[in-house]
Structure 1
Amino acid sequence: MITTEASPVLVATEADDITADMVITELNRLDVPVVRFNPADIGTDLSVSARFGTCPAPVAGHVRTPSRTASLAHVRAVYWRRPTWPTFPGLGHDDAQFAAAQVRYGLGGALYALDGPVWVNHPLRVAAADYKPAQLALAQRLGLAVPPTIVTNDPHDAREFVSIHDRVIYKTLRWTPYQRDGVPVTGWADPVTAAEIDESLRVAPHLFQAVVDKVADLRVLIVGRQVFAVRITSGLLDWRKDYSALSYSVVDLPAPVERALLAYLDHYGLRSGSFDLSEDQKGDLWWLLSL
């Protein structure tokens, strides 16, 4: 058992995460102590004890895994990278719901209470930034070009929007696990016509967006104040559909776009973020999405 009192980094992630593995490898190279865990491992493989009001630090206690223990009072940073929460399949429905809520608000709440560490990114701030309509409005306020977009559950309004614009795509407002006939499916940016829109649209809001007449896509990653942009050429409407068809080149963003993206992160209090942009025939960049 390694007890880590000397300013550890907590890495909260799922079991198989190549990105987290690379980050941990670099932290190890720098001799930075790391405690990796997944909230889904709560029980024999993960325990937490957090104390309040009984010591000088606002939050004291520890997070413990089978191989490491981290003092909550000395955590220097938290890398919150796609952790999963327990579902307790061995319990009855009501007991499982109750236990899952206690983990989320107990373990999660104890970690969220830490205001000294650097968070990449704080889950509560990520949650605030996770709404596409709010992303679109903020992007426009910051001076970024936003394609005409409608979020609606009114079939008439949706058909009217699609009829006005030459080409329109449908996007999910949030990715969720989904199966059809037992087969996992995902939501691509797919073309839609007015004839495809029927009364079933009323069940929930849908996002429809005019297609950018693009020549390429850009994926932008910002860490701290460092900006990394890659131009992706594919000829695909949604480049994620076929990675073998992609070609990449590193590019520099126009200064106004870079400033706007940094201001976006500042608005939400995020230290890192990924963005999808499209480049049109004139070379102008259009906002599509913040990840």
Structure 2
Amino acid sequence: MTFVLILTEPRDFHSYAVAEALRLQGVEVALWHGTDFPSRQKASVWLGGEGFGLEVSGPGIELRDARFGTVWNRRPSNPVLPEDLHPADRVPAGRDCQHFVWALWHLIAPDAFWVNPLSPIPTAILKPYQLRLAREAGLEIPRTLCSNDPDRIVEFLRASPGETVYKSFHAGSWNGAGDLPGAYPEGS
């Protein structure tokens, strides 16, 4: 069976029409609405001794290690952060979500035919993608999880003996206020 992934947005009528026409021809189609991440979608990438895997789940999408033959880069859309996210967290969270989604796009269909190929995103900033390439090159990668899925994160932590390291996709800074210490003291 042929599998097609369409990167789109909820208001893109044409992607729905094309998906339905393909389904009538016996093609399995998944529509991935980027605006649903991270509020309505969960995504995880894991690597380590057990290999590599990824999943994306949410309304209308269930991708589990899917390898699509074709990807239509129709209207890829940026993640939309929850409205109740603290204003101080919006910039780093938005940057991390964008980098994670870009990495997912590179990982979900590495050998697919792309209609409108991905624009050249500097892959050096895509940590999950870089980790997979490092593993394929023979480097030993410790058990790693990149995820916004609380259940996956708890499962990973419970299965990890000892301490666990957390790292953001993007470096950040924090200036102290008043008596609170910061990564960069005020005036530095």
1:79-131 per-position Cα deviation (integer Å, ceiling 9, x unaligned): 22223213424323331111111111112212213421222223234x79xxx
Normalised by the length of structure 1, the TM-score is 0.36
**Paired letter, 2:13:** I
The structure whose RCO (Cα within 8 Å, separation 6+) is larger is: 2
Aligned partner of residue 34 in structure 1, secondary structure: strand
Count residues with an aligned counterpart.
120
Does 1:75 pair with 2:68?
yes
Deviation of the 1:55 alpha carbon:
5.2
Q: Distance in 1 between matches of 2:116 and 2:47?
A: 24
Give the aligned residue type for 1:119. Answer: W
Q: 1:9 to 1:60 in 2, by over 3 A?
A: farther
Give the aligned residue type for 1:37: W
- Matching of residue 17 in structure 1 with residue 12 in structure 2: yes
Q: Is residue 99 of structure 1 aligned with residue 93 of structure 2?
A: yes
Q: What CA distance in whole angstroms lies between the structure 1 residues aligned with 2:116 and 2:50?
A: 27
Distance 1:117 1:21 in 2: 21
CA contact 1:39–1:86 (8 Å) conserved in 2:
yes
Structure 2 distance, partners of 1:69, 1:87, is 19
Structure 1 stretches of 4+ moved >3 Å: 52-56
Deviations 1:182-209 (A, max 9, x none): xxxxxxxxxxxxxxxxxxxxxxxxxxxx
* In 1, Cα distance between equivalents of 2:60 and 2:110: 26
Question: How big is the shift at 1:73?
Answer: 4.1
Contact conserved, 1:7 with 1:74, CA < 8 A, in 2?
A: no
Aligned partner of 2:70: which letter? A
SS at match of 2:27: coil
Contact kept? 2:55, 2:62, Cα under 8 Å: yes
- In 1, Cα distance between the equivalents of 2:21 and 2:41? 24
Residue 53 (structure 1) shift: 4.4
Change (3 A) 1:36 1:54: farther
Partners of 1:83 and 1:102 lie apart in 2 by 17
- Classify 1:95/1:7 alpha carbon distance in 2 versus 1 (closer, same or farther; 3 Å): farther
Structure 2 length-normalised TM: 0.53
SS at match of 1:63: strand
1:34: which partner in 2? Answer: 29
Q: Which residue of 1 aligns with 2:55?
A: 62
CA-CA distance at 1:12 after TM superposition:
1.5
Superposed displacement of residue 54, structure 1: 4.3
Distance 1:94 1:78 in 2: 35
Q: Is the CA contact (8 Å cut-off) linking 2:31 and 2:60 kept in structure 1?
A: no
Counterpart in the other structure of 2:3: 8
What runs of 5+ residues in structure 2 fail to find an aligned partner?
123-188
Equivalent in the alignment of 1:52: 47
- Measured against aligned partners, the alpha-carbon deviations of 1:226-250 in whole angstroms (never above 9, x if no partner) come to xxxxxxxxxxxxxxxxxxxxxxxxx
Distance, in Å, in 1 between the alignment partners of 2:40 and 2:16 is 19
Aligned pairs for 1:276-287 (under 5 A) are: none
Classify the secondary structure of the residue corresponding to 1:83.
Answer: coil
CA distance in structure 2 between the partners assigned to 1:34 and 1:91 by the alignment? 33
Equivalent residues of 2:4, 2:69 under 8 A apart: yes
Q: Secondary structure in 2 aligned to 1:115? A: coil
Alignment partner of 2:73: what SS? Answer: strand
Q: Name structure 1 gaps, 5 residues minimum.
A: 1-5, 129-291
